[in-house]
Structure 1
């Protein structure tokens, strides 16, 4: 049946995706094949045709061109064509000539591919089995979704991400103080929900000024590519809804909130998660609702998951804070006055938790009364009795104290819907040291300031003449000078006479090799300063500003970060204080001062981050008697702005910004503004330290829980299997890798690379990677390879979802086994269809069941390991492999059937273990939530209902688990001569 005859069915060895082919005609030289399903015709040389005859045997299921199916019992041959004999789905005896087989029949399954002679490389089979093993292991790791991103392992961020992403349809307010990483927390939550399948589509709304920062953060830290949508992009979609253009859509609030049509389009889409940054800008009162708030309210009402981000949840008062919570749970937060009354009770709860701090001895009467006032149920009273009993041991009191503390935190306050950490609570931040140098005003600046002091009308003239704003024209004197210069090309540049430039050159000499970040208000000042440093001091200082492309910014930042060959100084415009981490640097030079306290804190926050090992040295040059010096006094004396972030600078600026601008030339008025600012500053601090904030800080990070999460992440970080798997996978997928030293590797497209791998395009350069978390954190231009990186997920997905490596044939030389003996190594895999949102893999990821049989059907699985067998196998040419398979068809069919029966014995144990894991996890959480809902109205009823439904759906899905053949390798023994 190996001779070609018209009407016979064959498949292409190299293009199996073409489907089943039919011989149209043949002669002594060539054969022509029509592949009906793909409407392709191929002509091959008769002698070298890469074709395999399709011949089914007893037990195989086949499909006719008319769509009905039959199970083959027997075959006969008529004029070189096979006629299949068997039973159809009704049990009736029938015949089906091979010419009438369905063209669309695919041979993706391992059994079909093997029996039709389609075999892959032996190393592909190895990779498939190892992929299944690693995928099973990783999917069950409790740190899945948290281990891959390029982040420091900061406890409060990990706790919040783990807690929120574990909930049913999380709806929370992330309200950490400035610099504590709300964007990272939101990114971690999003990344984990995407990876676990709970979220497929997300809409991210941020202020226009932060769109670039979010774009960069999501790409660099989380390897998430988002669709950045604006009006121009939207119009490019014509009449189509632009919000359907991507799974993750990032849009400017300023644009969306001003465009009713685009709002309707956004609301017409189905979103799984809505993220809104700077949520305190959404305006709401009982009498009036702002357009931004109204838009978010409609979107949040139609979206299950909502994350609101704000560093200042009460910036506009308690009503504003209530408005944010109202977006998360309209039923729970329906009455502002009731919320005000509820807030008053949090002080008592905070005091009770503080009273639990000392358990060395029995509680005194005062502490007992304080706790007893809020411990209002039997469980709490029993724990309180243990703490008060002198007969109880220290260990008993410690356990009771921990349990009672957790109960009070769970049952009181807004801790389930709001997370807020402060620096004083988190700790680990460096000291800040301010160094002020007062310089003499150059004459070019002094003349203008003197005239401003004498002539009140001159300020208006100056604003018109320079085009600058008030008070920028007084604070940024170099900008004023440049704007007033009539002939800029021939005039002396400001950096030639400005003493701050020579002052900076002297400081750079004093600092030796230390890195120095310099930030100036605008791009022109930064560029001029860079010119001045080069011309006057021979110092090469790259400039980092908003007009640079993303690649140019990366290069500048990388040059600054390089310890060996990099530059000492980086000069930034204000954008340099947004979204970049220069934690490796400890010297910050504020060449001028920003006008807003939040921008001041953003500048310092580029260096002052958790994990910074050195004190932050802040250097500020000011001109004596200038408006800049008065602005410095307001920051220092009015709000102690340089010592630590307080999170209330925006409140103070709103209250006194206009008065401050008017007092920059009036010493008496300045004293009054500073005094009033300090009074409000102290009052705001006292208010911040009240009961509810204390409760929130205590609830925002549970150390014992986050420690287990960190251990799971470190386990994946230090996984020795990852580099070995990477080497094998990259080689098979055709990706070239070149070691660069310092744990860095350059990945680039190879000449035979498979298409569609993330970040790798044929003809382009590729990218640099590292598996080291610390190395990736130090280099923005280096990607961190982990089990969660898109490249690895893509390669693993292609292997597991496709047929790559699901058949193979290899030779084995063994002195104890005669030549010509057959073995079959089969890998079965659990199959459990379930919606992605159930995240079934945490309890039952695809699980491999390996079966190794000899030709007599004896089970050798426990005697011969996969690794031990694989390293002794030898490859064989495909043509030889096809001939071997063809000669052993009947024997292989019997082994396939026997192996399936052996594998089925393992299934009940796998299913039972998965059900136990699922029930233990969800039953405990369900019991906790049901009890908690009795006392804390922040636990939503729909959250409990969703958890019950999920448990039921998971139970049914796991119960329906089946095994299917995933891959098979035929092994033929050979003697020494054959080798």
Structure 2
């Protein structure tokens, strides 16, 4: 490169982002180029200038400096300057000197980047093609959107998530019994809707006490970045902006939002596509007075938002009125009259009996029950006739069809899902072990004074700053608050619960136990006492710790093979929220919480589906103490340690004040236990009688659930992800180191590209695993899947940017003369922007590969991508650019030919995609139309939405075009010897 003429256009080989440059001046030694788009000037040595001349050819499109686009027909040269001839978008003929090309013209497309010599690494080209292939496969996979979250594969949860997330109007009540995973179901639905693009923004409203738990769940289980919005953060934002526009997913306290009219208006003004409301049974409404502030706030939001998920107690817990009020939030037109709703509820019993009768076929009474429920439903009567004539081998499938139609057409699963432990199964046995210990003298003195003098309790509350009943239930806190001499004896030196705990450790070598305390101070002091008395360093887990600190504490507890592994983890009450410790089956309750819901939440940390051992609940209690009295009430009145029944809160609301008054009066306690037990049993009978059996039958489809589990496992075990990861990490500059136990440690390399989720250059990385089980056991280990944020980001960059879209490689081949050219052109489908329709489930990014030799012969079917890639080697960029310049015209011709060949393959791709779409949506539309004639829970709006979706998808598929996504030039060379 020796002749530079002012006005010629070049790009910088090393700084392509500067855009198009113009030669200002040159002399025999240097050349100065102005990059006006980037407002930069560069001076280069003429002999080593890293510049490539920009030369367009016939068919290329050029952006002009006046905003026009010129399609080139031919090019002429005048005194070293190029003059382009062509047509504008309006069809007018025009000449364009190269000096009039737009300074801001960028070269991102594969063809432009190849012809201007902007070449990428060969492995980046390979990664781009492989990534497109994987996207084409993954986005059509039935488990897409459900395989990434860090959750157990539990059938009813996956079934509900799959069913709801496929709906056009996902508006449902999630009313599973406590411990069955309503939060996980909502998270799965949200995760899939976000990943498929059907939801961009979501608002999550939860009770203030649960905001932290939801934040941890959404981050740790679903890898979702959430904005936790409160008044302090809202004020920190620009006063002129709407704080609810500050994040894609906003999590807020119900109490905060409901209490502030301005914030309610701002929330309503924000653009949401999904609303999630937890503990919806607390929203109050009545036919006479309407709804309270919270109910009306949610009603206004729900009316304007397409998708609504209400997490609520089961109907028999919340009552018919509350249940109706919740359904009004989902569909106020459908649920407009309470009396009509109650009449419909009575009709559900007949359908439930028919569903249960299916299993008893061919009994005559069973058939009569089904026929009565079927009414004039001809399809059901036809199935019954087929069943009568069928062989025994055919009976199971016909029974499945009968059950499905009954539930589908007459059930209530369109608006509500309710699973119970009775129907789900898989839960462990609970075993209570009580150790009664002597009450220390230091604690006894305080209690005796309260027993003798009622006013002393008031004095204690003032002196200690503690609340009632905490001042009685947690004597160590009372003792510490009254201990004036800091050098005095700490409570853990005389409290017999520490000796019991040390003894327990000796009796259970190699076993782990989760220790729970009500207050963080107790947890911290207990850990300090164990270290002093036993030399045992026990991690503590409490609400004042950062998420990273909690992860480290949980990891030290979870991993038995680590040197710092601990047999115990000591948690405060809310410090353990949102964590899964089911790898452990010993639960030590150092004290008891004052509310039965908190007790159930404690046990629920271990008592979960998938727990393979009985739950051993150990309670060291102090004889004659208020803590022992509370234990007796939980055990004898509520049966709280045996199983969850969801009734403890109801009994506590009625008897809680009396319970706290009876903590030091055993006679009163005995009477209260009998009264509370009677209330519990009476309420249980009433709720069982009012239980909607139809809900329980329709909340899960076991065959569907099993298919979803298998689909998720298929992606979990996809070995192609491991191979792709190795390629991607190298291309993106992320270093990987193998650790023990199948873990790998990912950390930023010196050349890592910026913006990689979870990785910041110059900082530490993270440990990761491909194992779902390992990730569930260790919160400090991330699980790599096709849906992990880092993997999704690398997939996006590998397929949507310019990375790897133009390359040149050498092929050593003894049978082909050196210097011969081939091009490998990768085309991909581009569907119009219709993310909310998720067109990728029918037409994901689909590739068409065309391989041509320089004579134009197509070799695509003869030479595979993988086989060719293995035989190629790299070439220095400077030499590659020289080869491109020398073969410009030939490459243009081959690219045009490849485009024609690829275009001919588009039609069958689109026809297959439209056929899949119509088959899927037409069958769904027919099903919904049939349902709507029988089941009023199918809104007309959902039918309209499905019809519109079908039309919009047909238009999107028809408008799909093929685009050259990547191209590689292959030059043959003689084999090296």
> TM-score higher than 0.5 here?
yes
CA distance in 1, matches of 2:884, 2:478: 85
**Cα deviation per residue 1:657-709 (whole Å; 9 max; x = unaligned)?**
11212222333332332222222222332344346532222212111112221
Q: Which residue pairs with 2:486 in the alignment?
A: 489
Q: Which residue pairs with 1:683 in the alignment?
A: 682
Q: Which residue pairs with 2:146 in the alignment?
A: 146
**Cα deviation per residue 1:345-401 (whole Å; 9 max; x = unaligned)?**
222322222222233xx2233x33433332223336515743883x54223433332
**Cα deviation per residue 1:290-313 (whole Å; 9 max; x = unaligned)?**
211111111111111111112445
Residue 805 to residue 164, structure 1, CA distance change in 2 (3 Å): same
1:573-972 equivalence runs, <5 A: 573-690=572-689, 692-972=691-971
For the 8 Å contact 1:577–1:602, the answer to whether it is kept is no
Give 1:643 shift. Answer: 0.8
For the 8 Å contact 2:328–2:335, the answer to whether it is kept is yes
For the 8 Å contact 1:368–1:384, the answer to whether it is kept is no
Give 1:62 shift. Answer: 2.1
User: Residue 291 of structure 2: SS of its match in structure 1?
Assistant: coil
For the 8 Å contact 1:355–1:371, the answer to whether it is kept is yes
For the 8 Å contact 2:541–2:576, the answer to whether it is kept is no
Q: Which residue pairs with 1:405 in the alignment?
A: 403
CA distance in 1, matches of 2:686, 2:375: 27
Residue 760 to residue 269, structure 1, CA distance change in 2 (3 Å): same
Give 1:316 shift. Answer: 4.2
CA distance in 1, matches of 2:42, 2:156: 62
For the 8 Å contact 1:517–1:589, the answer to whether it is kept is yes
Give 1:144 shift. Answer: 0.6
CA distance in 1, matches of 2:348, 2:75: 82
1:319-330 equivalence runs, <5 A: 319-330=321-332
Residue 577 to residue 759, structure 1, CA distance change in 2 (3 Å): closer
CA distance in 1, matches of 2:460, 2:428: 42
> Which piece of structure 1 moves more, 233-242 or 692-701?
692-701
CA distance in 2, matches of 1:577, 1:82: 71
Q: Which residue pairs with 2:467 in the alignment?
A: 469
Give 1:406 shift. Answer: 1.5
CA distance in 2, matches of 1:882, 1:254: 64
Is 1:561 aligned with 2:563? no
Give 1:249 shift. Answer: 0.9
For the 8 Å contact 1:173–1:418, the answer to whether it is kept is yes
> Which piece of structure 1 moves more, 458-467 or 607-616?
458-467
1:156-171 equivalence runs, <5 A: 156-171=156-171
Give 1:314 shift. Answer: 4.8
**Cα deviation per residue 1:224-270 (whole Å; 9 max; x = unaligned)?**
11111111111111321111111111111121111111111111111
**Cα deviation per residue 1:788-813 (whole Å; 9 max; x = unaligned)?**
11111111111211111111111111
For the 8 Å contact 1:257–1:263, the answer to whether it is kept is yes
What 5-or-longer segments of structure 2 have no aligned partner? none
CA distance in 1, matches of 2:913, 2:94: 43
CA distance in 2, matches of 1:747, 1:588: 34
Q: Which residue pairs with 2:3 in the alignment?
A: 3
Give 1:327 shift. Answer: 0.9
For the 8 Å contact 1:436–1:619, the answer to whether it is kept is yes
User: Structure 2 length normalisation: TM-score?
Assistant: 0.97
**Cα deviation per residue 1:512-562 (whole Å; 9 max; x = unaligned)?**
110011111112222222233223333322222222222222211111112
CA distance in 1, matches of 2:88, 2:613: 78
CA distance in 2, matches of 1:488, 1:225: 47
Q: Which residue pairs with 1:209 in the alignment?
A: 209
User: Structure 1 length normalisation: TM-score?
Assistant: 0.97
CA distance in 1, matches of 2:123, 2:197: 30
Is 1:511 aligned with 2:504? no
> Which piece of structure 1 moves more, 167-176 or 73-82?
73-82
Residue 2 to residue 685, structure 1, CA distance change in 2 (3 Å): farther
CA distance in 1, matches of 2:205, 2:267: 11
Residue 577 to residue 177, structure 1, CA distance change in 2 (3 Å): farther
Residue 872 to residue 147, structure 1, CA distance change in 2 (3 Å): same
CA distance in 1, matches of 2:878, 2:720: 34
Q: Which residue pairs with 1:257 in the alignment?
A: 258
User: Residue 689 of structure 1: SS of its match in structure 2?
Assistant: helix
CA distance in 2, matches of 1:451, 1:516: 36
Q: Which residue pairs with 1:63 in the alignment?
A: 63
For the 8 Å contact 1:386–1:397, the answer to whether it is kept is no
> Which piece of structure 1 moves more, 392-401 or 46-55?
392-401
User: Residue 645 of structure 1: SS of its match in structure 2?
Assistant: coil
Residue 371 to residue 634, structure 1, CA distance change in 2 (3 Å): farther
Give 1:928 shift. Answer: 0.7
For the 8 Å contact 2:316–2:687, the answer to whether it is kept is no
Q: Which residue pairs with 2:360 in the alignment?
A: 358
Give 1:76 shift. Answer: 2.1
Q: Which residue pairs with 1:548 in the alignment?
A: 545
> Which piece of structure 1 moves more, 432-441 or 835-844?
432-441
Residue 387 to residue 602, structure 1, CA distance change in 2 (3 Å): farther
> Which piece of structure 1 moves more, 461-470 or 273-282?
461-470
Give 1:927 shift. Answer: 0.7
2:443 to 442, 445, 451: 445
User: Residue 153 of structure 1: SS of its match in structure 2?
Assistant: coil
For the 8 Å contact 2:173–2:416, the answer to whether it is kept is yes
Residue 653 to residue 700, structure 1, CA distance change in 2 (3 Å): same
What 5-or-longer segments of structure 1 have no aligned partner? none
> Which piece of structure 1 moves more, 99-108 or 718-727?
99-108
CA distance in 1, matches of 2:56, 2:569: 71
For the 8 Å contact 1:348–1:691, the answer to whether it is kept is no
Q: Which residue pairs with 2:28 in the alignment?
A: 28
Q: Which residue pairs with 1:308 in the alignment?
A: 310
How many matched pairs?
973
For the 8 Å contact 1:343–1:692, the answer to whether it is kept is no
For the 8 Å contact 1:34–1:42, the answer to whether it is kept is yes
Residue 60 to residue 461, structure 1, CA distance change in 2 (3 Å): closer
> Which piece of structure 1 moves more, 828-837 or 662-671?
662-671
Q: Which residue pairs with 1:78 in the alignment?
A: 78
Give 1:220 shift. Answer: 1.2
For the 8 Å contact 2:316–2:688, the answer to whether it is kept is no
CA distance in 1, matches of 2:68, 2:253: 55
For the 8 Å contact 1:34–1:40, the answer to whether it is kept is yes
**Cα deviation per residue 1:710-768 (whole Å; 9 max; x = unaligned)?**
22211111111111111111111111111112111111111111111111111111111
Q: How well do the aligned residues superpose, as a CA RMSD in angstroms?
A: 1.8
> Which piece of structure 1 moves more, 344-353 or 756-765?
344-353
User: Residue 955 of structure 2: SS of its match in structure 1?
Assistant: helix
CA distance in 1, matches of 2:342, 2:454: 47
1:162-311 equivalence runs, <5 A: 162-239=162-239, 240-286=241-287, 287-311=289-313
CA distance in 2, matches of 1:616, 1:77: 85
CA distance in 1, matches of 2:349, 2:684: 15
